[in-house]
Amino acid sequence: MTNSATPTLLIPQTRMAELDISSVSVSYRNHRTGKQQDVVTDASLEVLERESVALVGESGSGKSTLARVALGVQSIKTGEVLIRNQSRYATKRVTGQDSEVMGDVQGVFQDAVGSLDPRQRIDRGLGELRRRYPKRTEWISDAELMEQVELPIDLLRRYPGQLSGGQAQRIAVARALVVKPRLIVADEPTSALDLSAQAQVARLLMHLRNDHDVALLFVSHDLALVRQLCDRIYVMENGRIIESGAIETVMTCPQSVSTRRLIEEGGLHEVPGTGMNEHARGDTPEARV
Amino acid sequence: MNPLARKVFTRVGTGLITVIFAATIVFFLARVTGDPTHQILGENASQEAIDQLRNQLGLDQSIFVQYAEFLSKLAVGDLGTSLRYGIPNIELILPRLGNSFLLTAVAVAGGSAIGYILALLGATKRGSLWDKLSTSIAGIAQSIPPFWLGLVLVYFFALRLEWLPSGGVGDWTHVILPAVAIGMIPLAYVTRVGRTSIVSVLAEDYVLAARSRGFSERQVLLKHVLRASAIPVVTVIGLLTGAILSSTVTVEVVFSWPGIGSLANQAIQGRDFTLLQAMAIVTAVVFVLINFIVDLLYEVLDPRIRTR
């Protein structure tokens, strides 16, 4: 189900798609029955240059699986995934041999501390990325990067376990940013954080979108934050995309029962510390960090 | 005191306490299990002979005097003289220990390396034929008694094919067959423990995150998975090294390998209790050293341990 105000009418046609997922299905083997079970069915999704797109849905709806497809770490059964018109894979898992394509898309995960190697100091992790992408990462020094994510430079010598959840999430964003990605896939990056850390990470994501022209695929069930950060929204239920469209249109005039329920449950509260009210959009000057 | 000096001091202190504790247990066990002179001279020995030997060994003194003398000798590295051979125990033990080290090192290094490769294959290709094959090999390796495998190896490779020597010490070819027989133990354990450990690390979020950052599967395995999964494997290897070093008597007998196991066998048969006592103390020292190396390896594999 697609709202009348379709994304293609809102976005100028000259903008290239950073990510184009078309008719993708993903299935897992059910260990009890031994049969393949679809967790994502015939899903299509597009994120254009400098666009922020939300992917929402209840737990188990398949949104994190689709995020992993976008990141190239999830096998797909059918369909196609294009990164800037280049095929990411047909039906095989990507192994990272294509440096440019893999650097274009970076991920930020829900469990920030868990997404960083506990045995690797923060500066060593950044160094590893610099060796992997020597050209892409030369635009910024570690010190400047820490400034971008509003963290003191001495945290670079720490291990992930020595960071708070909010600090770890900002380090995770820094690790994504250092590669100068064109698209960041953020899979519930604020849901495991306290309110203050949520606000810091939300501000950081807005900053990336506004000042670094990074497109964002934002997976969340926090509709208030989604409304502040994103231009368009896709709603998933039972592995299918059931609704999509411009954020204001879907939020004010939801077509499906599931979307209505999400909006009712999600509320429209302001995310503290973002400097935005519930109707504000991220592209207003005062929203910038 | 700086942290490194404190760490070294603590480790050396703990090691010394362990060795003294082990030596004390050995000392008292040798005495509470009966009068060694009866064991040495036999049941029909005259009282005069027994008294003479007791005097010679210092057993006629109070146990506390004996213990003090034992510790003071131990402090200067004097492990006594063999009753059977009449030469210092340390001169008997050290060459044998060298042989046992060589055999154990080759067996543990080879078995563990093959075991870890099998573990990696099984874990990265879960449910595949490789996985089943590696699990089966580990099962077979675990269930074959090393002395029996030793006999089979001697029969085929030494007697039938005449490719390798059947026993004794000489050039590098002499170590192959006994090392293969013993190496099945670390191969089995490392395959099982390594597979479980690698599977568990592969499921960690940071491995998924590393893949998503564009690192190849090989890079992810080398930089994030192998190091993290090696800690339980190193623990097992450390435990096995000590156990193998001090318990390869049957394989040493099969291959006529002059190691510490066969020396212990000779000491038991010859009722040489001072030699046995010295061997137990040397074994304790070896265990302490192995634990020290394992602790150092932990710090290399997991730098967080250094910062604690």
Q: Would you list the DSSP string of A133-202?
A: STTTTTTS-HHHHHHHTT--GGGGGS-GGGS-HHHHHHHHHHHHHTT--SEEEEESTTTTS-HHHHHHHH
Q: To the nearest 10°, report the CA torsion of A76, A78, A84, A86.
A: 100
Longest dimension (CA), chain B: 84
Last residue of a domain, one of B78, B108, B141: B78
For the cut 70, the answer to whether the pLDDT of residue A261 exceeds it is yes
- Position A153 in a domain: yes
Categorize the per-residue pLDDT at B308 as very low, low, confident or very high, splitting at 50, 70 and 90: low
Categorize the per-residue pLDDT at A193 as very low, low, confident or very high, splitting at 50, 70 and 90: confident
Categorize the per-residue pLDDT at A13 as very low, low, confident or very high, splitting at 50, 70 and 90: low
Least confident of A48-57, A233-242, B255-264, B267-276: B267-276
The CA angle B37-B42-B46, to the nearest 5 degrees, is 80
- Alpha carbon A180 to its chain centroid, in Å, reads 15
Q: Are A115 and B209 a contacting pair at CB < 8 A?
A: yes
Residue among B209, B217, B307 whose CB faces A107 most closely: B209
A259 vs chain B: nearest CA distance in angstroms? 29
Q: Collapse the DSSP code of B236 into the 3-class scheme (helix H, G, I; strand E, B; otherwise coil) and give the result.
A: helix
- Position B279 in a domain: no
Residues of chain B above pLDDT 90, percent: 56
- Position A256 in a domain: no
B200 vs chain A: nearest CA distance in angstroms? 14
Q: What is the mean pLDDT of residues A28-35?
A: 78
> Which pLDDT score, from 0 to 100, does residue B156 have?
94
B153-164 confidence digits (pLDDT tens)? 999 999 999 999
- Tell me the average pLDDT of chain A: 82
Q: Do both B155 and B247 map to the same domain?
A: yes
Last residue of a domain, one of B47, B78, B109: B78
For the cut 70, the answer to whether the pLDDT of residue A50 exceeds it is yes
Q: Do both B119 and B220 map to the same domain?
A: yes
Tell me the residues of A at the B interface, defined by beta carbons under 8 Å apart: 68, 71-73, 95-97, 99, 102-103, 105-107, 109, 111, 114-121, 128-129, 132-133, 159, 161, 172, 175, 179, 185
- Position B89 in a domain: no
Q: Are A73 and B211 a contacting pair at CB < 8 A?
A: yes
Contacts of B213 in chain A (CB under 8 A): 102, 106-107, 129, 132, 175, 179
Q: Which residue has the tokens 């932990």?
A: B298
Q: Which residue has the tokens 């100068």?
A: A180
Q: Do both B189 and B131 map to the same domain?
A: yes
CA distance A157 to A147: 15
Among B101-115, B208-222, B259-273, B289-303, top mean pLDDT goes to B101-115
Residues of chain A above pLDDT 90, percent: 46
Q: Do both B109 and B42 map to the same domain?
A: no
Q: Are B213 and A97 a contacting pair at CB < 8 A?
A: no
pTM: 0.80
Residue among B206, B216, B217 whose CB faces A117 most closely: B206
Q: Do both B216 and B156 map to the same domain?
A: yes
Closest-CA residue of A relative to B208 is A73
Question: How many domains does chain A contain in total?
Answer: 1
> Which pLDDT score, from 0 to 100, does residue A266 have?
66
> Which pLDDT score, from 0 to 100, does residue A4 have?
43
Q: Do both B59 and B178 map to the same domain?
A: no
Q: Are A115 and B206 a contacting pair at CB < 8 A?
A: yes
CA distance A51 to A39: 26
Q: Do both B47 and B115 map to the same domain?
A: no
B51-72 confidence digits (pLDDT tens)? 888 888 888 888 889 899 999 9
Is the CB of residue B84 less than 8 Å away from at least one CB of chain A? no
A17-26 confidence digits (pLDDT tens)? 889 999 999 9
In chain A, which ranges are continuous DSSP H helix?
A: 7-10, 63-71, 99-104, 122-132, 142-148, 165-177, 195-211, 223-229, 247-252, 257-266
Least confident of A107-121, A187-201, A211-225, B273-287: A187-201
Question: How many domains does chain B contain in total?
Answer: 2
Query: Strand pairing partners for A24?
Result: A43
- Position B58 in a domain: yes
Categorize the per-residue pLDDT at A93 as very low, low, confident or very high, splitting at 50, 70 and 90: very low
- Tell me the average pLDDT of chain B: 90
Contacts of B304 in chain A (CB under 8 A): 118-119, 159, 161
* Structural domain of B18: 3-78
Closest-CA residue of B relative to A100 is B214
Contacts of A185 in chain B (CB under 8 A): 212
CA distance B140 to B304: 37
Q: Do both B122 and B182 map to the same domain?
A: yes
Q: Are A119 and B216 a contacting pair at CB < 8 A?
A: no
- Position B276 in a domain: no
Q: Do both B160 and B24 map to the same domain?
A: no
Categorize the per-residue pLDDT at B307 as very low, low, confident or very high, splitting at 50, 70 and 90: low
Residues of chain A above pLDDT 70, percent: 82
Q: Do both B228 and B129 map to the same domain?
A: yes
Contacts of A128 in chain B (CB under 8 A): 223
Residue among B213, B224, B304 whose CB faces A106 most closely: B213
Query: DSSP assignment, residue B214?
Result: T
* Structural domain of A150: 112-180
